[in-house]
Amino acid sequence: MDRRKSLKLIFTGAVAAPIAIAGCKTDDKKTGTAKTDDPTFNLDRNPDEVKYEKGLLAQEKFFTDHELATITILADIIIPKDDVSGSASEAKVPAFIEFIVKDMPNHQVPMKGGLRWLDIQCLKRYEKTFKDCNQQQQIELVDMIAYPKKAKPEMSQGAIFFSLMRDLTASGFYTSEIGVKDLGYAGNKVNQWNGVPHEVLQQYKMAYTEKELKECVSFKKTDG
């Protein structure tokens, strides 16, 4: 098959491909209990997974409104809007964290407990919970726990919590559309791999050998 033709077929295939699997739809019909919070799956799910995902979504909210507001403030301190991209909350990181603690229950106690630890620290220092502290106070507290090696021993639990919060925020943000664009990840699309770009090879003083150039698959620059 001609490569251009096959690429065209690939494109059509990708667009025309059915998205949801049949299993999920028939299930709804059978039980007649389709709810608005039914997951719509944009990727393949087997019947066991459909059952599991529905169970997750049927759970009550894990975080209280107060906790979620605190998470939102923290996430935006960790990933604020800058001149390259938006903030964690713009990328819906708080909703991701709400989901992931249900999916990974091992995060539940460290997150819930860490949030309460933070509020108690703030109550002692500022007589307000973290959420109701002013920005200066919030940053003052965050500075005490954002650098694990520098954190005072009595703040060590807070430093552990903040590192988890940073990791979850980064996971949520850099896997969002905004975050992937920020990173500049350029793949996940139909491509013709033609080797490392010339200017990059030069930057690192690298070159392909004659053998590699001869034996490897290559594409004309005008393609794609």
Q: Does 68 bind another protein (CB under 8 A)?
A: no
Residue 211 C-beta: closest distance to another protein, Å: 8
Tokens of 214: 């001869």
Q: Which of residues 109-128 bind another protein (CB under 8 A)?
A: none
Among 9, 34, 58, 109, binds another protein (CB under 8 A): 9
Give the binding-site size for another protein (rule: CB under 8 A). 83
Q: Which of residues 169-188 bind another protein (CB under 8 A)?
A: 170-172, 174-177, 179-180, 182-188
Contact predicate 115/70, CB 8 Å = yes
DSSP string, 7-34: HHHHHHHHHHS--S-HHHHHHHHHH---
Q: Does 64 bind another protein (CB under 8 A)?
A: no
Residue 175 C-beta: closest distance to another protein, Å: 4
Among 37, 127, 199, 210, binds another protein (CB under 8 A): 199
List all residues 6 or more positions away from 190 whose beta carbon is below 8 Å from its beta carbon: 7, 10, 11, 14, 224
Tokens of 195: 């080797």
Q: Does 58 bind another protein (CB under 8 A)?
A: no
Greatest CA span in the chain, whole angstroms?
72
Per-residue interface string for the shown chain with another protein, residues 128-157, x marking contact by CB under 8 A: --------------x---xxxxx-------
Q: Which of residues 203-222 bind another protein (CB under 8 A)?
A: 203-204, 206, 208, 212, 215-218
In this structure, what DSSP letter does residue 55 have?
A: H
Contact predicate 56/103, CB 8 Å = yes
